[in-house]
Amino acid sequence: MADQPTSPVARHASTVLLLRDSDRGVEVFMERRHIQSDFVGGAYVFPGGRVDPEDRVDEALCHGLTDREASARLALEEGGLTFYVAAIRECFEEAGVLLAYDRDGRILDFSDRAVEEHFERLRAELNAGKQSLLDIAAAESLTLATDRISYWAHWITPEGQPRRYDTRFFVARAPGNQTAGHDDHELTSSAWVTAEEALEHGRRKEWMIIFPTIRNLQKLAAFRTADEAIAAVDAQERFPVMQPRVLLGRTPDEPARAVLPGDEGYEEAASRPSAANAKDWQRAFSR
């Protein structure tokens, strides 16, 4: 039998569950990726993306967290702080929310429209590659609020996928005086929803939601407030690696389903797609 193609190396990425409390319970900010996006086009996701070389910044720029502390939390030898910085950058790029302290040590406040417009311009320049987050922080005398981000989960894209990511999920409370909104480029719509509402949109086929997003929404649904969710993961000691596989149906009528380590059938499940089950694989991961 011919060897299967080598699976691409999983690239490091960061994703943020941005939370706020409402009278309906804790809400999370979700965005719809452009239908022509080269990764999960049309899916509703949390803000996030690849870790870039520019995310390796001086610790002095990060409030309340060293690389040693961040790396220990993420079970890495070094470089953990870059995931936190990437999470803050992606949150600003994609959602317009900048988790940072001003020169007076206060979390950024965009309630003044002039200030909001100024940071909207900076966001556009960041997205256009005209400035880096480090440039913005230096010019505005900011320190990144890495102390306001909590580690949530660790997911790795299954082998055999054309794009693979080693993703650290984080959770953060949205600042009260900043307004989240999609970028109208890579993302075409956005909404604040409870986990239950998002999952219901998925069940009704109104939203496409991929398997990792579904499982993280299910995790969030267990909490009533943002503080409760954040406190729970802050107290969590172990973060198992979530690398899904596909368990094929035993009969033609039984659908394939994605399974995680610890789920029944994981050990015998397919760890990568083949020509024979590529469609089943796709159905199992997309809802």
199-250: pLDDT as tens digits: 999 999 998 898 899 999 999 999 999 999 999 999 999 999 998 888 877 7
Q: Give, rounded to a whole angstrom, the gap between the first and last alpha carbons of the chain.
A: 33
- Average pLDDT value for residue range 184-196: 80
Residue 106 in contact with residue 164, Cβ under 8 Å?
Answer: no
- Residues 92-115 pLDDT 10s: 999 999 999 999 999 999 999 999
User: What confidence category does residue 161 fall into, taking pLDDT thresholds of 50, 70 and 90?
Assistant: confident
Q: What is the pLDDT of residues 241-284, one digit of tens each?
A: 998 888 877 766 777 778 888 888 888 877 766 655 656 666 66
Can you tell me the mean pLDDT for 75-80?
A: 96
Q: What is the pLDDT of residue 164?
A: 85
What does the pLDDT read at residue 56? 95
Q: How far is CA 52 from the centre of its chain?
A: 15
Maximum alpha-carbon separation in the chain: 66
Q: Cβ contacts of residue 267 below 8 Å, gap of 6+? A: none
Question: Selecting from 2.30.38.10, 3.40.50.300, 3.30.70.120, 3.90.79.10, what CATH number does the domain 11-236 have?
Answer: 3.90.79.10
Residue ranges, comma separated, of all CATH 3.90.79.10 domains in the chain are 11-236
DSSP string, 105-171: SPBP---SHHHHHHHHHHHHHHHTTSS-HHHHHHHHT-EE-GGGEEEEEEEEPPTT-SS-EEEEEEE
Distance CA 260, CA 17 (A): 21
Task: Please tell me the distance from the alpha carbon of residue 270 to that of residue 32, in angstroms, as a whole number.
Answer: 29
Sequence-ordered alpha helix ranges (H) in the chain:
67-73, 80-95, 113-127, 133-140, 195-203, 211-220, 226-235, 278-285
- What value does the mean pLDDT of the chain take? 88
